[in-house]
């Protein structure tokens, strides 16, 4: 595929930042079964920009790790309805920022645990529909 053939999405991720990351290993041997809690929130900055926050916690009795990331999106066209933008930020935040969090958790837990945490890939649309 030629670069000229790429169709750009009308909303581009222009900045990603880790807001908070913390972890604790409570014992030398760590169970390989984990619970995962995740949430996203959308925020309208103005008519052309929005923020998406993703928070994730992976834990069991032996270990926990939490991360919060924020992504800033710039829209090609103005979005007059802030509710539409906020909903877009929630869904796109999950879709796009999940891969950033997934890589962070794997890289950091590879240094902390014998077996690093690999979050699963997810079907975002089915996950959103199920959450509603």
The number of residues making up the chain comes to 132
Q: Are strands 49-59 and 11-25 parallel, antiparallel or unpaired?
A: unpaired
In the chain, what are the domains?
9-121 (3.10.420.10)
56-85 residue pLDDT tens: 999 988 889 999 999 999 988 888 788 888
93-122 residue pLDDT tens: 888 899 999 999 999 889 888 888 888 887
CA–CA distance, 38 with 104 (Å, rounded to integer) = 15
Task: State the average pLDDT for the chain.
Answer: 86
Token code pair at residue 81: 């309805």
Arithmetic mean of pLDDT, 42-64: 92
């Amino acid at each position: 595929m030629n670069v000229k053939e790429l169709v750009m999405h009308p909303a581009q991720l222009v900045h990603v930042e880790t807001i908070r990351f913390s972890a604790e290993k409570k014992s030398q041997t760590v169970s390989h079964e984990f619970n995962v809690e995740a949430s996203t929130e959308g925020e309208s900055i103005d008519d052309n920009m929005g923020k998406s926050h993703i928070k994730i916690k992976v834990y069991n009795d032996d270990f926990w790790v939490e991360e919060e990331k924020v992504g800033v999106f710039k829209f090609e066209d103005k979005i007059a309805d802030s509710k539409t933008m906020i909903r877009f930020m929630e869904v796109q935040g999950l879709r796009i920022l999940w891969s950033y969090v997934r890589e962070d958790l794997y890289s950091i837990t590879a240094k902390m645990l014998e077996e690093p945490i690999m979050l699963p890939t997810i079907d975002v649309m089915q996950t959103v529909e199920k959450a509603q």
